[in-house]
Amino acid sequence: MSAMENDRAGRIGGQILAVEGVSLAFGGVKALSDVSFDVREHEVRAIIGPNGAGKSSMLNVINGVYHPQKGTIRYQGREYHHMDPHEVAVSGIARTFQSLALFKGMSVLDNIMTGRNLRMRSNILLQALRIGPALREENEHREVVERIIDFLEIQAYRKTPVGRLPYGLQKRVDLARALAMEPKILLLDEPMAGMNIEEKQDMCRFILDVNDEFGTTIVLIEHDMSVVMDISDRVVVLDYGRKIGDGTPDEVRGNQAVIDAYLGVSH
């Protein structure tokens, strides 16, 4: 066990993403105040905190959905004041959603294939005629997608419209679609929310497998602490939009401010 952990630790590389002094407010409501943390290559980085702590806002800042008023984001050595969702996707950051945002009317296969869209090069005319390069390209992408389908064990549901699948499986399709982009960083917004214990264990296993086998850096948000502590290398703790803790799961667990935030404290 410890050998495996050492192996994991050995793979973690330099800084790939850094959030520096980010503040975000909606009118008078401060969602994030001066939050800074970094993410290293190949690590599993968790952002935790009670409800309303600003976790999703943080993810949306990285994803480019929200533009922070202050602070910068450094990604692969370049500095951004804010990101743009499309640009983010192109530069290799994929995400999943807390409240599922799958294409409900489309089949599992089609949903995952949309994740390959960015990598498709053939033009509309060739696509429409289904000739030569376009057809070959489609087949190549299909192979990648099939590997992901095998990996996440959803072979049986390829042709099923996503809207008809149970919740736990939909979460898996969401993950599959993000993986199909072959991202450098995968942002997971509460991947275990609303799942039963078995589904949670499955999801944990998949997240670790993705991290190990594809070497994907993972940033995940959870409010369920126990799950996060088991799979994360380092944890950021937010409360009321401020960072109150940052470190390995053990360090965070012993941090008095974190304990207070989660258990409440009498003044």
Partner 1 sequence: MNKNTPFIAVCVALLVGLVLPLATGASAPGFYVEVLLGGLMAGVLYSLVALGFALIFKASGVFNFAQGAMVLFAALAVARLAERMPLWAAILVGIVIMTLLAWFIERLVLRPLVNQDPIALFMATLGVTFFLDGFGQTVWGSDIYKIELGMTKEPVLVLQNLFQGGILVNGEDFVAAIVAAALVGGLALFFQYTPTGRALRAVADDHQAAQSIGIPLNRMWVIVWAVAGVVALVAGVIWGSKLGVQFSLSQVALKALPVVILGGFTSVTGAIVGGLIIGVGEKMAEVFLGPVLVKAFDLAGGGIENWFAYVLALVFLLVRPQGLFGEKHIDRV
Question: Where on the chain is the footprint of partner 1 (CB under 8 A)?
Answer: 63, 65, 85-86, 88-90, 94-95, 97, 101-106, 110-111, 113-118, 120, 122, 124, 127-128, 130, 138, 141, 177-178, 181
User: Minimum Å distance from CB 103 to partner 1?
Assistant: 4
The residue among 4 and 124 lying less far from partner 1, judged by its C-beta, is 124
The residue among 8 and 142 lying less far from partner 1, judged by its C-beta, is 142
The residue among 11 and 130 lying less far from partner 1, judged by its C-beta, is 130
The residue among 101 and 156 lying less far from partner 1, judged by its C-beta, is 101
The residue among 88 and 218 lying less far from partner 1, judged by its C-beta, is 88
User: Minimum Å distance from CB 151 to partner 1?
Assistant: 18
Q: Is 16 in contact with 75 (CB distance < 8 Å)?
A: yes
User: Minimum Å distance from CB 110 to partner 1?
Assistant: 6
User: Minimum Å distance from CB 198 to partner 1?
Assistant: 26
User: Minimum Å distance from CB 245 to partner 1?
Assistant: 28
Which position has the token pair 């999801």? 203
User: Minimum Å distance from CB 80 to partner 1?
Assistant: 17
- The string of DSSP letters for the chain reads -HHHHHHHHHH--SEEEEEEEEEEEETTEEEEEEEEEEEETT-EEEEE-STTSSHHHHHHHHHTSS--SEEEEEETTEEESS--HHHHHHTTEEE--SS----TTSBHHHHHHHTTGGG--S-HHHHHHT-HHHHHHHHHHHHHHHHHHHHTT-GGGTTSBGGGS-HHHHHHHHHHHHHTT--SEEEEESTTTT--HHHHHHHHHHHHHHHHHT--EEEEEES-HHHHHHH-SEEEEEETTEEEEEE-HHHHHT-HHHHHHHH----
User: Minimum Å distance from CB 242 to partner 1?
Assistant: 27
φ/ψ of residue 242, rounded to 5? -110, 155
